[in-house]
Chains A and B, each alone.
Chain A
Amino acid sequence: MSKKKLTDSNSYIIIYSCLMVVIVAFLLAFVSSSLKPAQDVNVALDKKKQILAALNIRHLDNKQSAAKYNEVVEADAIINIDGNYIEKGTQGGEKAGFRLNSADYKNGKLAVYECNVGGERKYVVPVFGQGLWGPIWGYIAVNADGNTIYGAYFSHEGETAGLGAEIKDSQTWQEQFAGKTIYDAVGKTILKVLKKSEVRNPQSEVDAVTGATLTSVGVSDMLQEGFSKYQKYLRK
């Protein structure tokens, strides 16, 4: 090139890139901070819907779900592995147990949603586990006796659609859990998910999803582990 263009000079490049970085950073910071509240509401709402689904309250729109959650959930408590309260939580709570995630769960900080459905006390407990492809989790509603399941909801990150994903998509499969017994007389967790041919004790064993053996094993392990953690609390 015979003549150097202005846009190729070093100082121009430096000024240009600095300017670009500043403009982009401000733009993104602005967008992110203005949308943050709406995003947080969405994340919370999604969790509330899952908790409600465990209580067999499904197919509500966003507004109804938020209202229903406030009405039904009396406290989002935090308990420890010995079944003692760490925090009591609040009505329609989003601050205590609601904030916990799967890491807290592993470390023995457990969330319990104490709910009131039509005058009856229900406990919703979250459980976390591993499916075939990635994490799976669920919310299980337990009756006031601390031993009978009232309803269940499961979800997953990347199980195979039509097979493993049925744990989330098939309401019929989730409804099978209602009425099952969790613990035996000495407090051992006997709730399991088994292949149809291996079910011996239908009172506490649930049919696996057809064709999704490994995901079902994951659900079964998740329930076994989860309910042993909650055993002291639920059997008080």
Chain B
Amino acid sequence: MDHIITLFFRSIFVDNMIFAFFLGMCSYLAVSKNVKTSIGLGLAVTFVLCVTVPVNYLLQTLVLGPDCLIKGVDLSYLAFILFIAVIASIVQLVEMVVERFSPALYGALGIFLPLIAVNCAIMGASLFMQQRIGLDPSSPQYIGSILDALVYALGSGIGWTLAIVSLGAIREKMAYSDVPKPLQGLGISFIVVGLMALAMMCFSGLKL
């Protein structure tokens, strides 16, 4: 139980997708112009993470790992292709569901839903999950069961949402600031994210 709580909070604050690993920066910078769309994209990413990471965990442990399907055969070189295939199909599914049940959200997120498929945060979470299976079980980052994988995905998603919503809020306020012309928009966003990342570093070494 302790392990799950630590894993959860670490993936929100310490191993934050944006601030520690810069994953999903493209859509992060493009969509964070205001709070409302930020929340939408954050939720979409969290949801997709929570589905894809456990599915890929099963894939990794039951099919891809050494000696899983056939003794003596290590299929891990197929990991990239299978992970991305799972992600692409699940994103497609989410897109259809959102379009059917929440046209407003669909309209707001527009082209960014398909972009989730190539959002590095989604693929990154699966790759980190794959790496963490090999860690030793006492490590706070260890993922050893499908529940761990789900908790890790949920934590990472929440961390990502937190990051994008706070940047959205800052950028809303920043519209009123007097930023030098060439620095406006992208430049200043980078610097703001950098400063946020510096602040987040105070969580490093967090132990529960």
Q: Across the interface, do A128 and B77 meet the contact criterion of CB distance under 8 Å?
A: no
Q: Across the interface, do A134 and B204 meet the contact criterion of CB distance under 8 Å?
A: no
Task: Check if A214 is an interface residue, CB within 8 A of chain B.
Answer: yes
Q: How far is the CA of A96 from the CA of B136 in the complex (A)?
A: 20
Hey, what's the 0/1 contact readout for A39-81 against B, CB within 8 Å counting as 1? 0000000000000000000000000000000000000000000
Tell me which of A28, A29, A32, A105 contacts B136 (CB under 8 A).
A105
Q: Across the interface, do A135 and B136 meet the contact criterion of CB distance under 8 Å?
A: yes
Shortest B124–chain A CB gap in Å is 14
Q: Across the interface, do A28 and B77 meet the contact criterion of CB distance under 8 Å?
A: yes
Tell me which of A28, A106, A132, A135 contacts B78 (CB under 8 A).
A28
Task: Check if A186 is an interface residue, CB within 8 A of chain B.
Answer: no
Task: Check if A133 is an interface residue, CB within 8 A of chain B.
Answer: yes
Q: How far is the CA of A103 from the CA of B205 in the complex (A)?
A: 23
Q: Across the interface, do B140 and A130 meet the contact criterion of CB distance under 8 Å?
A: yes
Tell me which of B81, B135, B204, B205 contacts A24 (CB under 8 A).
B81
Shortest A198–chain B CB gap in Å is 19
Contacts of A133 in B (CB 8 A): 14, 204
Shortest B111–chain A CB gap in Å is 22
Q: Across the interface, do A102 and B81 meet the contact criterion of CB distance under 8 Å?
A: no
**For the complex, would chain B's binding face be called helix, strand, loop or mixed by DSSP majority?**
loop
Q: Across the interface, do B136 and A106 meet the contact criterion of CB distance under 8 Å?
A: yes
Q: How far is the CA of A25 from the CA of B141 in the complex (A)?
A: 32
Tell me which of A29, A32, A128, A134 contacts B141 (CB under 8 A).
A134
Q: How far is the CA of A25 from the CA of B77 in the complex (A)?
A: 10
Shortest B72–chain A CB gap in Å is 12
How many chain B residues touch A (CB < 8 A): the figure is: 13
Hey, what's the 0/1 contact readout for A104-133 against B, CB within 8 Å counting as 1? 011000000000000000000000101011
Shortest A128–chain B CB gap in Å is 6
Hey, what's the 0/1 contact readout for B45-70 against A, CB within 8 Å counting as 1? 00000000000000000000000000
Known A24-B81, A28-B77; judge A128-B136 contact (CB<8 A): yes
Q: Across the interface, do A106 and B138 meet the contact criterion of CB distance under 8 Å?
A: yes
Q: Across the interface, do A132 and B137 meet the contact criterion of CB distance under 8 Å?
A: no
Task: Check if B139 is an interface residue, CB within 8 A of chain A.
Answer: yes
Shortest A64–chain B CB gap in Å is 30
Shortest B130–chain A CB gap in Å is 14
Shortest B29–chain A CB gap in Å is 24
Contacts of B141 in A (CB 8 A): 134
Q: Across the interface, do B205 and A132 meet the contact criterion of CB distance under 8 Å?
A: yes
Contacts of A214 in B (CB 8 A): 204-205
Shortest A42–chain B CB gap in Å is 15
Shortest A109–chain B CB gap in Å is 13
Contacts of A31 in B (CB 8 A): 77
Interface residues of A in 127-165 (CB under 8 A from B): 128, 130, 132-135
Residue of B nearest to A128 (CB): B136
The interface centre, meaning the residue of B78, B139, B204 with most chain A CB atoms within 10 A of its CB, is B139
Q: Across the interface, do A103 and B136 meet the contact criterion of CB distance under 8 Å?
A: yes
Interface residues of B in 186-208 (CB under 8 A from A): 204-205
Query: Considering the complex of A and B, which 6 residue pairs feature the smallest CB-CB distances, nearest first?
Result: A32-B77, A102-B136, A214-B205, A132-B205, A106-B136, A28-B77
Interface CB pairs A-B, < 8 A, 7: A28-B77, A28-B81, A103-B136, A106-B138, A132-B205, A134-B135, A214-B205
Kindly list 8 other residue pairs between chains A and B, CB separation below 8 angstroms, not including A28-B77, A103-B137.
A31-B77, A32-B77, A103-B136, A106-B136, A106-B137, A128-B136, A133-B14, A135-B136
